[in-house]
């Protein structure tokens, strides 16, 4: 860990193991392991991600000691379910859980020089009961660790520009958020909501719209709570950002 932390050619430290440090599934988290990993995460800021299996379910934690823990035991074997809640750790989920799903699927990871993109892709329903409904291939859960840096940004189309012109109400207490924006072309566009640490909480594809002014509502369901977030509008390699303050 110390060598990786000191190596300027290494941007992120990622670990992979079998047993979970944090888990509300059939195989509970190991407190001793969590203690070790929390200390390593706190003392090594490049250590941002741990992936494990063991429990046959999917669960992502909020950062613990700076480390996000993923349980991905959804590769095709039977799901491990307990009682009517399905989760041995109970319902609702523990406070450390950011998202969990009793559903088959696969975790797609994409690394850039400055970020890690993680998308949990919906698989077949499999055996047992599912507590989420999704279409095979769709993204069930998404997170971005770090930030993306865009270079060689193309110019906007003549007569139009990419912009977020109004966000309201702001501060906002509940869904939805009303957004007025303009697009520079008819290329596909999307909204994302990211927290101050660069973690992506919401993603909304807008599809192909005509250049010019538009309005949309953006659901805030799924945000972790109150705080400062960034609303990103992206199109054709370009992006604009507006601050959103969520109060509860």
Of 146, 173, 203, at which residue does a domain stop? 146
Count CB atoms within 10 A of the CB of residue 100.
24
CB 47 within 8 A of CB 13: yes
User: pLDDT of the chain along its 248 residues, tens only?
Assistant: 999 999 988 888 999 999 999 999 999 999 999 999 999 999 998 899 999 999 999 999 998 988 999 999 998 789 999 999 999 999 999 999 999 999 999 999 988 777 888 899 999 987 788 999 888 988 888 887 875 544 344 444 445 689 999 998 888 887 688 899 999 998 999 889 988 777 888 888 888 888 988 988 887 877 888 888 889 999 988 888 888 888 87
How much is the pLDDT for 70?
97
Residue 204 contacts residue 240 (beta carbons within 8 Å): no
pLDDT on residue 147: 58
pLDDT for residue 54: 96
Instruction: Say how far apart CA 245 and CA 168 lie, in whole Å.
Output: 10
Domain hosting 119: range is 2-146
For 21-52, b/e burial (b = at least 16 CB within 10 A) is bbbbbbbebbeebbeebbebbeebebbbbbbb
Give a yes or no: residue 158 inside a domain: no
Same domain, 81 and 189: no
Question: Given this model, what pLDDT does residue 160 score?
Answer: 65
The predicted model scores a pTM of 0.64
Task: Provide the 8-state DSSP code for 76.
Answer: S
Domain boundary among 90, 119, 146: 146
Whether 42 is covered by a domain: the verdict is yes
Q: Is 117 exposed, middle or buried (0-12, 13-18, 19+ CB in 10 A)?
A: middle
| 25 and 128 in a common domain | yes
Look at residue 217 and tell me if it is in a domain: yes
Task: Answer for the pair 193, 220: CB distance below 8 angstroms, yes or no.
Answer: yes
Tokens standing for residue 208: 């192909």
Is residue 144 within 8 Å of 115, Cβ to Cβ? Answer: yes
CATH number of the domain where residue 172 is located: 2.60.40.3080
pLDDT at residue 220, as a whole number: 81
């Amino acid at each position: 860990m110390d060598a990786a932390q000191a190596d300027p050619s290494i941007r992120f430290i990622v670990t992979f193991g079998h047993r979970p440090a944090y888990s509300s599934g059939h195989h509970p988290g190991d407190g001793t392991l969590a203690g070790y990993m929390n200390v390593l995460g706190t003392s090594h800021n490049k250590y941002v991600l741990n992936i494990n299996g063991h429990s046959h379910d999917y669960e992502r934690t909020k950062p613990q000691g700076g480390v996000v823990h993923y349980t991905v035991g959804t590769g095709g074997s039977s799901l491990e379910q307990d009682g009517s809640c399905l989760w041995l750790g109970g319902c609702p989920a523990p406070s450390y859980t950011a998202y969990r799903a009793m559903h088959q699927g696969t975790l797609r990871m994409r690394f850039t020089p400055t970020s890690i993109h993680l998308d949990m892709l919906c698989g077949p329903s499999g055996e047992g009961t599912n507590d989420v409904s999704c279409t095979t291939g769709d993204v069930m859960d998404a997170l971005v660790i770090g930030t993306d840096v865009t270079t060689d940004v193309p110019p906007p189309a003549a007569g139009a520009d990419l912009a977020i012109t109004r966000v309201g109400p702001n501060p906002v207490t509940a869904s939805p958020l009303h957004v007025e924006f303009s697009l520079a072309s008819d290329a596909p566009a999307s909204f994302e909501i990211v927290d101050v640490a660069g973690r992506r909480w919401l993603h909304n594809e807008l599809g192909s719209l005509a250049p010019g002014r538009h309005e949309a509502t953006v659901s805030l369901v799924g945000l972790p709570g109150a705080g400062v977030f960034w609303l990103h509008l992206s199109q054709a390699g370009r992006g604009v950002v507006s601050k959103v303050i969520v109060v509860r």
